[in-house]
Structure 1
Amino acid sequence: MKWQGKMFLWLAVFLLVMAIVYGLWSHETAGTTALFMAFGLSVMVGYYLAFTARRVDTGAQDRPDADIADDAGELGFFSPHSWQPLALAIGGALAFLGVIFGWWLMYFSAPIILVGIFGWVFEYYRGADQRY
């Protein structure tokens, strides 16, 4: 993670320089603001990765003598049969359609999104698949 943090912080320095140069030469506010926002996001991600790298063990990507197989293994638990992303996708699509056609569609999309989020968070707390 050390290298990823350094890369994002280097990217942040580059974006800051480009934002300043672009702002001085173009006098255009939207692009300058977007570049400064990209700088801020890059700093946040780089700081998080650098901060986390100090707290965890050295990964295989940080060792020059590491093999590709050193990073093999379990990555985590991923739900194999969850229907909740479909509910979130439908609710999100309705919400974006609400921006286009009228805000009244948000009344239909908000409950679908909330049910999808609630179901996804608590899907392993009840029923046959209960884990906790």
Structure 2
Amino acid sequence: MRIQGKMFLGLAVFILASAVVYGLWSKEPAGTTALFLAFALSTMIGFYLAFTARRADTGAQDREDAEVADDAGELGFFSPHSWQPLALAAGGALAFLGIIFGWWLLFVSLPVILIGVYGWVFEYYHGENRTQ
């Protein structure tokens, strides 16, 4: 993760330089603001990856003598099937339709989004961990 953190921080420096040049040259506030927000997001991701790399084990991508096969194996658990992203997508679509057709539609979309988030977070917390 160390190399990914450095890549994002390098990208943040480039975006910052682009934002300053763009802002001075064009004097257009929307694009300048978007570039400064992109700088902030790249900085946050870079610092997160750099901070996490100090606490995590050194991966194969952090070693110069590593082979491709060194990174083989199980990377984690990924859900093979889940209906929760569909509920989140429906809630998000309703929320964006609420911006178009009326803010009252957000009251309909908020429970759908909350049900989707709750279901996704606690999808595998039933069965042996459930209290009787």
> Structures share a fold, TM > 0.5?
yes
Q: Which whole-Å deviations, capped at 9, do the CAs of 1:91-132 have from their partners, x for residues lacking one?
A: 111111111111121121111111111122222222xxx253
Show the counterpart of 1:10. 10
Runs of 4+ aligned structure 1 residues displaced above 3 Å come to none
Task: Report matched runs for 1:1-132 at 5 Å.
Answer: 1-126=1-126, 130=127, 132=129
Structure 2: gaps of 5 or more residues: none
Q: What is the aligned residue count?
A: 129
Return the TM-score normalized by structure 1: 0.89
The 1:125/1:32 distance shift into structure 2, 3 A limit, reads same
Greater mean alpha carbon deviation, residues 22-31 or residues 116-125: 116-125
Unaligned 5+ segments in structure 1 are none
Overall identity of the aligned pairs, in %: 75
Contact 1:124 1:131 in 2 (8 A): no
**CA contact 1:2–1:62 (8 Å) conserved in 2:** yes
**How far apart are the structure 1 equivalents of 2:100 and 2:22?**
32
